[in-house]
Structure 1
Amino acid sequence: MITLFKLMSLSPLWLLHAKGWVLGWLAFVFSGVYRRRFINHARLAGLSMSSWLAAVGESGKLVMELPRLWLGRPVPVFWDGAEHVEVALAQGRGIVFLTPHLGCFEITAQAYAQRYGVTGKPMTVLFRPPRQSWLRTVVEASRQRPGLLTAPTTLSGVKQMIKALKHGESVGLLPDQVPPQGLGVMAPFFGQEAYTMTLSVRLVQQTGASVLLAWGERLSWGRGFCVHVQALKDELPAPLPEAVSAINRAMESLVMQCPQQYLWGYARYKQPRASL
């Protein structure tokens, strides 16, 4: 499998995306569970079919582009809102980047590391190793790059992220990812209660870090990606449940900017797994 990944990493991005589009539709057609979850989640957001249909193929592109991003040559990356990053870095309070399952969330950390991390302000991201040993080797190798650090999904990893923020560095989180039991609270997400992580809020409250919203738009015809960065409109409220709900609303606003690239098939409303 590693050999296959290396061969795929040599392919042009447009070809991987074309194959991924087919893969996305095959999964949608032949998996009833996935298809129903995909459609139900899109409907919760109030979307018509014309608004979410393209996301079927985009979900497959997400999978097929990974070998190139992990093992291949760098891909073209454009920025929209880089000034928000520069202002936040100049303040020296650290940055918590919040990225939903929108577009290519792998590219946001890589793009930051390449542009800002190598100059002395690295980004630390949470990393839970895959269960498959061969995939674990590939992913771990891909995350070992200049300006990009990883933290385990344990208490020591959280301490590592707090330390990074206090040093004026950045951390990256996917706040719409379902955390283990005991590490989240129920909060509305597109009108339905979803178990939502509290880590992002706790990091901000304990360190006074800035909060930026970011996502990587997948450009058509394999032209690369555009990293969009926005500032959080309002400061997070002090009570934890209200702050978590505010982050969910911020993620909703990002998703609705480009629902065609959201991972609607992700099991957002599943029951959390037991803590390790």
Structure 2
Amino acid sequence: MAKSHYPRSFAHPRYWPTWLAIGAMYVAAWLPWRLKMWVGSGVGRLAWRFAKRRRRITTTNVALCFPEKNAEAQRRLVKDTFIANGIGLVETATAWCRDPESLRHRAVYVGQENMARAQAQGKGVLIIGVHFSTLDMGGALHSLFFSAGAVYRPHDNPLFERFMTRARLRSFDQIIDRHDLRGAVRRIKAGHSVWYSPDQDFGRAASVFAPFFGQQAATIKLTAKIARMTGAPVVPLVFHRNPDNATYTFEALPALDGFPSGDDVVDATRINAFIEQAIRRHPEQYLWLHRRFKTRPEGEAGVY
């Protein structure tokens, strides 16, 4: 539903479920850590059992991207993906409702010199992230080491949008609508960093087809366009939840050499290769629940 169709007053009964969800997030954020992980895991298991459409999408994605795995291994990865994304919900609640400083002891940051070197150029930095279940936790922890703005998709619900925006501004010094290319470019040209995740399907008009896990995936051209318009270094950032379910590791890789190349397919292939390598480290933590391959090359049937 469009934002204009929502009631103006946040006291309207239509918003009561949203208020309940926000309250639940605050409660989850303050649970003891082990209990938090247990709750998140339980939410993921319930979603795996009852969210049939998302399970079908995830099953399709896993089958396409991991054909070397047998049926049982694929099934296990699908279930583990739901569990990891369930944990991601309580991590998001924690990132949005707690002071990031209280989480500093949970962060391990490798390659800080790469990020610092890119920032020292004074041209701003385009940080390339990935849609892991740890995305918002990653943003909160990253803010303890380096400041950045972030590109995001606004929520249709005005109340939740306000809550989400205020929460993310605890971690990011600015959040930028994904359709606001000029805003992102201005931010970078002013010498700031912008975190951007280009691993979703934005449709044929905005994309080229490039390999991703052996599939031809519609890959947005905007990454190379922003780099070309700003002249900023492009720094890939890997982050994941560690096996202890209590700490998180970041790795800032060296800025990409010779990027953009001027060839959109070459550039998209390079970005996809980084994203694939990052996902393969902890594939269950990726957001396989979204329709990454919904746009197909001309003449190919849909996979979902």
* TM-score under structure 1 length normalisation: 0.86
Aligned to 1:34, the other structure's residue is in SS state helix
Q: Does 1:101 align with 2:126?
A: no
Deviations 1:5-31, CA, capped at 9 Å, x for gaps: 222221133322211112212222223
Aligned to 2:138, the other structure's residue is in SS state helix
Deviations 1:42-76, CA, capped at 9 Å, x for gaps: 23222521783533311211122211110124322
Q: Does 1:80 align with 2:110?
A: yes
Q: Does 1:137 align with 2:162?
A: yes
Residue 200 of structure 1 deviates from its aligned partner by: 1.1
Percent identity between the two aligned chains: 23
Whether the 8 Å contact between 1:96 and 1:170 is mirrored in structure 2 is yes
Whether the 8 Å contact between 1:107 and 1:216 is mirrored in structure 2 is no
Q: Which runs of 5+ in 1 are unaligned?
A: 118-122
Whether the 8 Å contact between 1:216 and 1:226 is mirrored in structure 2 is yes
Q: Which residue of 1 aligns with 2:84?
A: 58
Q: Which residue of 2 aligns with 1:261?
A: 285
Aligned to 2:175, the other structure's residue is in SS state strand
- Counterpart of 1:60, as a letter, is G
Residue 96 of structure 1 deviates from its aligned partner by: 1.1
> Structure 1 pair 138/224, CA: closer, same or farther in 2 (3 Å)?
farther
Q: CA RMSD in A?
A: 2.4
- Point out the more displaced range, 166-175 or 35-44: 35-44
Q: 1:270 aligns with which of 288, 294, 301?
A: 294
Aligned to 1:114, the other structure's residue is in SS state coil
Task: Give matches, 1:114-153, under 5 Å.
Answer: 114-117=144-147, 123-145=148-170, 148-153=173-178
Whether the 8 Å contact between 1:13 and 1:222 is mirrored in structure 2 is no
Q: 2:135 and 2:119 mapped to 1: Cα distance?
A: 21
Deviations 1:193-214, CA, capped at 9 Å, x for gaps: 2222211111111122111111
Whether the 8 Å contact between 1:109 and 1:148 is mirrored in structure 2 is no
Q: 1:129 and 1:103 mapped to 2: Cα distance?
A: 18
Aligned to 2:205, the other structure's residue is in SS state coil
- Counterpart of 1:264, as a letter, is W
- Counterpart of 1:8, as a letter, is A
Q: Which residue of 2 aligns with 1:42?
A: 62
> Structure 1 pair 87/130, CA: closer, same or farther in 2 (3 Å)?
same
Aligned to 2:235, the other structure's residue is in SS state strand
> Structure 1 pair 32/116, CA: closer, same or farther in 2 (3 Å)?
closer
Q: 2:94 aligns with which of 56, 61, 68?
A: 68
Whether the 8 Å contact between 2:91 and 2:136 is mirrored in structure 1 is no
Aligned to 2:137, the other structure's residue is in SS state helix
Whether the 8 Å contact between 1:124 and 1:151 is mirrored in structure 2 is yes
Residue 185 of structure 1 deviates from its aligned partner by: 2.5
Whether the 8 Å contact between 1:103 and 1:215 is mirrored in structure 2 is no
Q: 2:119 aligns with which of 77, 80, 89?
A: 89
Q: Which residue of 1 aligns with 2:275?
A: 251
Task: Give matches, 1:22-33, under 5 Å.
Answer: 22-33=42-53
